[in-house]
Amino acid sequence: MTIILFGPPGCGKGTQSELIAEKYKLKHISTGDILRAEMEMGTELGLSAKKYVNEGKLVPDDVIIGMLMKAIKSIDANLNGVLLDGFPRTTAQAEALEEKLTSSNKQTNVLIDLRVNDKELISRMILRGKATGRVDDNPETIKKRLQVYAEQTYPVKSFYQKLNKYVSIDGLGKIDDIFGKICIEIEKAI
């Protein structure tokens, strides 16, 4: 099973991903979390990613695709598959993922887009920046991330629409209510 949780920065992917991964026994793969861990440890990958992440830009596709392929390789036998959070973020990443899945006779079950307006996204990320000290959650970098999302990530939507794998959900409201709507879509897709 391969489920993609999609949407702009600050839309709640991280929160919902944890709930989904637990309920459906999936490995939660967050490219943002992996990058932050690598940066914290000061690895070569972390060091090369740092300037992109801190400026709100995307890390180059070859780096991210390599990192993702490694993460999907090892899945515990007791799990049902993967939940991707923050990947794919470009059409090239989507193509690489689907090619990889096709080579083992698989395909993404569904991409779920969490829709949230920019005003709400900005206020959520400002709050998160204050609470967690996440360096890219500051007004200037947030603006850049939203711009990068619109230009480079949004096209991933039409890629999955063409495959008939795209659904969207209103990301405003109570966490549990949104989770309920996500579960309905996952169950239709598996």
Min dist. Cβ of residue 70 to ligand ADP (A): 14
CA distance 30 to 43: 18
List, in sequence order, every residue forming a beta bridge with 111; answer none if it has no partner. Answer: 4, 166
Query: Which residue of the set 124, 134, 144, 157 is catalytic?
Result: 134
DSSP three-state, residue 134: coil
By beta-carbon proximity to ligand ADP, the closer residue of 31 and 190 is: 31
Task: Indicate if 115 belongs to the active site.
Answer: no
Nearer to ligand ADP, 124 or 181 (CB): 124
Is 36 a known active-site residue? no
Q: Report the interface residues with ligand ADP, using CB under 6 A.
A: 9-10, 13, 31-32, 35, 52-53, 56-59, 64, 86-87, 89, 93, 136, 145
Of all residues in the shown chain, the one whose CB is closest to ligand ADP is: 32
In the complex, minimum distance from the CB of residue 136 to ligand ADP, in angstroms, rounded to a whole number: 6
* Complete edge-to-edge strand list for the sheet that includes strand 81-85: 26-30, 81-85, 2-6, 110-115, 166-170
Smallest distance, ligand ADP to C-beta of residue 77, A: 27
Q: Min. distance of Cβ 30 from ligand ADP in angstroms?
A: 6
Closest to ligand ADP by CB, 58 vs 110, is 58
CA distance 60 to 90: 10
Using DSSP's 3-state secondary structure scheme, residue 29 falls into strand
Here the tokens at position 31 are 């490219």
Report whether 82 contacts 26 (CB < 8 A).
yes
Residue closer to ligand ADP, measured from CB, 15 or 188: 15
Structure tokens at 163: 């495959």
Residue 154 CB neighbour total at 10 angstroms: 14
| Catalytic sites, residue numbers | 13, 89, 128, 134, 145
